[in-house]
Chain A
Amino acid sequence: MLVARRKMLLLLAGMKIRRQLFSAFAAMLGVFMAMPSAHALIEINITEGNVEPMPIALPAFAAQGTAPDMASKVSAVVEADLRRSGLLAPLDPASFIQQGMSASSMPRFGDWRTIGAQALVSGSLVAQPNGQIKAEFRLWDVFAGQQLVGQQFVTSPENWRRLAHIIADTIYERLTGERGYFDTRIVFIDESGPKDKRRKRLAIMDQDGANVRYLTDGADLVLTPRFSPVRQEVTYMSYVGGNPQVYLFNIESGQREVLGNFPGMTFAPRFSPDGQKVIMSLQQGSNANLFVMDLRSRRTTRLTNTPAIDTSPSFSPDGQRVVFESDRGGSQQLYVMNANGSNAQRISFGPGRYSTPVWSPRGDLIAFTKVHQGRFMIGVMRPDGKGERILTEGYHNEGPAWSPNGRVLVFFRDTPGASGGPQVWTVDLTGYNEQRVDTPNFASDPAWSPTLD
C-alpha cells in the first residue's frame, strides 16, 4: 500500500504503454526512505470552494549522460502541468538554497522549509545504453522530511513529453488524491481563414496544447467531435458530400465511416460510457429527435418523438440516464430521461436558455451552456437541477466538456467582430483558475480523451 515503494518501468512504444513492477530502484535508494506513515502528511484539500495552491519546489532534473536541455524540457513540462492545475504553486527556482539536486540527492529539508516549500521533487534523466532515457524522481514531504513517491520510467527520447506528463500525473495524484489528467489529449476543431469563409479541420492535441495533429484536411465542414471513452475513436459531424451526417473516425488507422443510414441530417453525437453506442440527433423536417445506435449490431433505436428540437444528448456515467436539451416547452431547457427514452423530466428552471449539457464522469454534476440577456455562461448543476453554479460568464462561452477525472472543464470562448474567433479555455470545477490552451489557430468544440492506460 505504500506509494513510496511502487516502482514502475514504463515502456512507451508509440502510443502503447506497458507498466511493470521494478524493484531494483527501491533497494538502491531505500536508504533515503524515512519511516513511512500510515497517512499522507501533506495533502491538498480540494473539496473546499477556493483552493489555496500548495507551494512546491521543482528543481530541474539532473542530466546524466543526456543532453541538459532534454532534462530541463521534461522539468518545464512537469512544472507547467502542475501550475496549470491551479492546485499547486511551483516556487521560483531563484529562491532555491540547495543546488544541484538529482534523484540521488538527500534533501536538506531545512533549506526547503525556509523558502516555503511544502513539497519537493528531485529527479534525474539518465541516458540508457540502448538509446532510451530513464527518468528517476522522488516526491518529498518537506515538513515531515519524508519521501512520498519514488519512481522511475524508461522510454525512448521522442516520448519525452508524455514522460513528463506521466511524472506530473504521479505527483498530482499523490498530493490531491484525484486521478491525474495531464497524460491526456483533447480533440477539437481547428478554425482558420476569415470569419465568413472558415476552414474547419478535425484536430487533436495534448491537453496542454502541444503536438497538434490534423485528422481532416479542411475540405469538408466538421463539427462537435467527441472522444470514445474506451478506444482511440472520435465521433463527429461532417458535411462530406454536402450531406451532413455523424461519422466515426479511428485515430490510429485514419479510417472514417458514416454512422447509420438515416433519412436526414444526423448531428450532436456522443458515445455511451462503455463506448458501445453513439447517441445523436436526427433531423426530420422541422424536428430533431434523439436516437441511439449500437456500434456492434448497428441497430438504431428512437428515444424521443416530439415536435421539437431535442439535441445535445449525454449519458450518465452508469449509462442509465440521458441528459439533453429540448425546446419542447418553448425555449431551450435541460431534460433528464431514462436511457430507453422514458420519463423525461425538465431539470433547468433558471432565467435564460440552457443547452449543451454534459454529464460529469463522476456522475454528480451536469455542465451546460446558459444564455441569458446576451451573455453566454458555463455552469454546472446537479442531475436533479438543484445547486446551479455559474463558473464563467461573458460575451460567448460555449460547449463544456469534462476532464476524465471530473475536476476540470474545457470549453471554447468566442470573441466578437470580423477578427474575432473561438479559443479553447479550461476552468476548475470551483470556477477558479481559468486558463487558455494555446493553439496554432482559432479552436472550438474541445472534448477530452479518457485517461490513457
Chain B
Amino acid sequence: MQGKMFGFEGVKRAAVVGALCVLMAACAQTRPELAGGANNIAAGTTQDFSVNVGDRIYFLNDQTSLSADAQAVLNKQAQWLKAFPSYKVTIEGHADERGTRQYNIALGARRAAATKDYLVARGVSAQRINTISYGKERPVAVCNAETCWSQNRRAVTVLTSTGS
C-alpha cells in the first residue's frame, strides 16, 4: 500500500486518505478525497490548500521534530502540491516568544528546513520550495499562555505562484 511506500512512521491516517486515490489527477478532481473537505471551495485554489489540506504544522517547545499530526498534514500537502505542480511554496518557520531572538531565528529556520526536507522526501521538487525564518517576530496568537505559544511554534506553507 501507499503507506509502506512512504517509509515513515505516523502517516497512517494520510495513507488511508491517499489510498482512495488511484491517480493524483483524479484526486485533484475529486477534491474531498484528496483534501478531506466537503465544501464548495474550488480544487487547486489557495483556499483549497489552506482550508482542505492545511497550510501549517505545529511543534513542541524548542523542538523541530515532526509529530504524527504534522506528518499527516505534510503528506496531504505533498499530494496536493504534486497534483498542482505550477505552484511554488515558501515555508515560513516560526518560534514562540519564550526564547531569545537570535536563537529563535535559527530555530524557525530549522523548523522550515525540517518541513522542506519532509515534503521533498514525499516527492515535491526541492526547486519549488523556498524557506524563510521569522523567529518569534510573527506571532498569530498573542495571549500569555501555552495555548497561544503552541499556535506560534509553527511552519506555514505559503503558495507563492498561481496555479493554472
Contact = CB atoms under 8 A, between A and B. Distances in A.
Interface of A: 194-196, 198, 200, 221, 223-224, 237, 242, 244, 265, 267-268, 281, 283, 285-286, 288, 309, 311-312, 325, 327, 332, 355-356, 369, 371, 374, 396, 398-399, 414, 416-418, 420, 444-445
A134 to B, nearest CB: 46
A355 B113 contact: no
A417 B132 contact: no
Contacts, number: 90
Contact of A195 (B105, B132, B142): B142
Nearest to A332: B103
B107 interface: yes
Interface string B67-97: 0000000000000000000000000000001
Interface in B118-164: 132-135, 137-144
Interface of B: 64, 97-103, 105-107, 109-110, 113-114, 132-135, 137-144
B93 to A, nearest CB: 10
A204 to B, nearest CB: 19
19 contacts: A195-B139, A196-B138, A223-B105, A224-B102, A237-B105, A265-B105, A265-B133, A283-B133, A286-B109, A309-B107, A311-B106, A312-B103, A325-B102, A355-B100, A356-B101, A371-B100, A396-B97, A417-B142, A418-B142
A29 B109 CA distance: 66
B113 A223 contact: no
B113 to A, nearest CB: 5
Given A195-B139, A398-B101, A417 B144 contact: yes
A415 to B, nearest CB: 9
B100 A398 contact: yes
B151 to A, nearest CB: 11
Contacts of A221: 134, 137
Nearest to B152: A196
Contact of A371 (B99, B133, B143): B99
Nearest to A194: B142
Given A283-B109, A285-B113, A242 B102 contact: no
A268 B137 contact: no
B98 A374 contact: yes
A357 to B, nearest CB: 11
A255 to B, nearest CB: 25
A283 B132 contact: no
In the complex, the 3 A-B pairs of residues with the closest C-beta atoms, listed nearest first: A416-B144, A309-B106, A418-B142
Nearest to A419: B142
B154 to A, nearest CB: 13
A223 B101 CA distance: 9
Contacts of A268: 102, 105
A286 B100 contact: no
Given A244-B133, A283-B109, A196 B140 contact: yes
Contacts of B137: 198, 200, 221, 223
Given A332-B103, A374-B98, 20 more contacts: A195-B139, A196-B139, A196-B142, A198-B137, A200-B137, A223-B105, A224-B102, A244-B105, A268-B102, A283-B109, A283-B133, A286-B114, A309-B106, A325-B103, A355-B103, A371-B99, A398-B101, A416-B144, A417-B142, A418-B142
Given A283-B106, A309-B107, A399 B143 contact: no
Contacts of A414: 97
Contacts of B114: 286
A399 B101 contact: yes
A237 to B, nearest CB: 8
Contacts of B143: 417-418
B103 A311 contact: yes
A325 B106 CA distance: 12
Nearest to B130: A242
A333 to B, nearest CB: 11
Contact of B100 (A200, A369, A374): A369
A58 to B, nearest CB: 39
Given A196-B139, A286-B113, A356-B100, A242 B144 contact: no
B158 to A, nearest CB: 11
Contacts of B134: 221
A281 B100 contact: no
Contact of B102 (A195, A355, A374): A355
Contacts of A311: 102-103, 105-106
A452 to B, nearest CB: 27
B144 to A, nearest CB: 3
Contacts of B133: 244, 265, 283
Contacts of B138: 196
A274 B63 CA distance: 38
A356 B105 CA distance: 13
Contacts of A283: 105-106, 109, 133
A417 B145 CA distance: 8
A399 B103 CA distance: 12
Contacts of A265: 105, 109, 132-133
A56 B136 CA distance: 45
A288 B107 CA distance: 9
A396 B136 CA distance: 14
A38 to B, nearest CB: 49
B87 to A, nearest CB: 17
